[in-house]
């Protein structure tokens, strides 16, 4: 137990009062929530327009990425766009008090940082419930993914580093949580940065920007709908929990079976095979036994060996 206590102390020192949150898409899932896609589309498109309008000098793709990152991301625990979404009256949110979250009541040595800081709010993008933290993953971790890809010229190697980060100090070590949805948001952010300059990254759409007559031209608007899907939702693409946290989470998630019985469609993924294929190289962990369409239908969890 002394080792567990030391781990908690180290985690708190590392995270401080920064406010980087896990989220909870199980609690209040059946409550109405307004979709914020158009609002957050506008926020990103305005940032892109500002960069284009104020551009000086020759073409520099990395400069575009870094300026956009400083506008909506930033070198802090909660990105600018994430902080704005958490506070703006333009963005509808489901906020979950720490005492009500799926992590409530568990031993501190199991929940670690989450038990101290609680969970962040849930918003709706492209019809999906997602944690506000995914906005930061998209822009900040997506940028890191992009530059690793540019260095290695190998998407799989870039994905491996992304997965390592989720296993290490910013993921499972300090929280007991390995978030599949975080890895998906990281990857989609990387695709967004590529789509700024490359055609056919987002379906058959042209690049967002084109360099014409010594300046940038916007060819099409950005939309979150090109990137957000059911695998951003942590009640559908459930987290992997380590051996300390798993038994507590299994028991807690089973408490939502009444809500599942009321509206089971809210807990199921349509066309999941396409998503599995899209993200096959991201090192997502199979946690399907903790999805409510499995847990509540069978009444039991299949054997699981957390890493």
> For residue 112, what pLDDT is reported?
52
Q: Which residue has the higher pLDDT, 258 or 101?
A: 258
- Domains contained in the chain, number: 1
Q: 22: closest CA among 171, 187, 190, 242?
A: 171
* Residue 157 reports pLDDT greater than 50: yes
Rounded CA-CA distance 206/17 in Å is: 42
Question: Looking at residue 288, what DSSP letter applies?
Answer: G
Tokens 């942590």 belong to which residue?
Answer: 234
**Residue 307: pLDDT band with limits 50, 70, 90:** very low
Q: 159: closest CA among 307, 286, 285, 283?
A: 283
In a domain, 225, yes or no: yes
Q: What is the average per-residue pLDDT within 34-39?
A: 98
In a domain, 279, yes or no: yes
In a domain, 192, yes or no: yes
Q: 158: closest CA among 168, 171, 173, 147?
A: 147
**Residue 228: pLDDT band with limits 50, 70, 90:** very high
**Residue 37: pLDDT band with limits 50, 70, 90:** very high
> For residue 11, what pLDDT is reported?
43
Question: Looking at residue 226, what DSSP letter applies?
Answer: G
pTM for the predicted model, two decimal places: 0.87
In a domain, 306, yes or no: no
> For residue 110, what pLDDT is reported?
46
Domain that holds residue 134: 2-298
> For residue 177, what pLDDT is reported?
84
* Residue 102 reports pLDDT greater than 50: yes
In a domain, 142, yes or no: yes
> For residue 5, what pLDDT is reported?
47
Over the chain, what is the mean pLDDT? 85
In a domain, 304, yes or no: no
In a domain, 53, yes or no: yes
Q: Give me the torsion for CA of 274, 276, 279, 285, rounded to 10°.
A: 170
Judge contact between 205 and 226, C-beta under 8 A. yes
Q: What is the average per-residue pLDDT within 247-259?
A: 93
Range in 106-120, 220-234, 239-253 the model is least confident about: 106-120
In a domain, 65, yes or no: yes
């Amino acid at each position: 137990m002394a080792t567990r206590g030391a781990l908690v102390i180290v985690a708190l020192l590392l995270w401080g009062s920064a406010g980087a949150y896990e989220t909870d898409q199980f609690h209040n899932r059946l409550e109405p929530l307004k979709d914020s896609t158009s609002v957050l589309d506008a926020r990103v498109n305005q940032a892109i327009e500002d960069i284009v309008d104020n551009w000086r000098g020759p073409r520099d793709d990395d400069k575009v990425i870094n300026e956009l990152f400083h506008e909506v991301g930033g070198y802090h625990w909660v990105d600018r766009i994430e902080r704005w979404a958490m506070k703006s009256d333009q963005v509808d949110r489901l906020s979950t008090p720490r005492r009500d979250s799926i992590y409530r009541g568990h031993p501190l040595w199991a929940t670690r940082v989450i038990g101290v800081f609680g969970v962040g709010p849930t918003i709706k993008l492209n019809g999906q419930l997602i944690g506000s933290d995914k906005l930061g993953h998209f822009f900040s971790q997506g940028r890191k993914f992009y530059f690793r890809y540019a260095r290695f010229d190998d998407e799989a190697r870039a994905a491996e580093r992304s997965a390592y980060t989720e296993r290490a100090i910013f993921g499972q070590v300090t929280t007991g949580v390995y978030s599949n949805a975080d890895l998906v948001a990281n990857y989609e952010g990387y695709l967004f940065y590529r789509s700024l300059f490359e055609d056919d990254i987002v379906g058959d759409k042209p690049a967002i920007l084109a360099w014409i007559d010594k300046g940038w031209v916007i060819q099409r608007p950005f939309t979150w709908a090109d990137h957000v899907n059911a695998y951003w939702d942590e009640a559908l693409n459930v987290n992997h929990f380590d051996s300390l946290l798993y038994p507590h989470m299994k028991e807690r998630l089973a408490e939502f079976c009444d809500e599942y019985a009321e509206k089971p469609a809210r807990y199921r993924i349509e066309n999941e095979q396409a998503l599995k294929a899209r993200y096959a190289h991201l090192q997502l962990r199979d946690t399907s036994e903790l999805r409510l369409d499995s847990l509540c239908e069978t009444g039991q969890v299949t054997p699981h060996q957390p890493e």
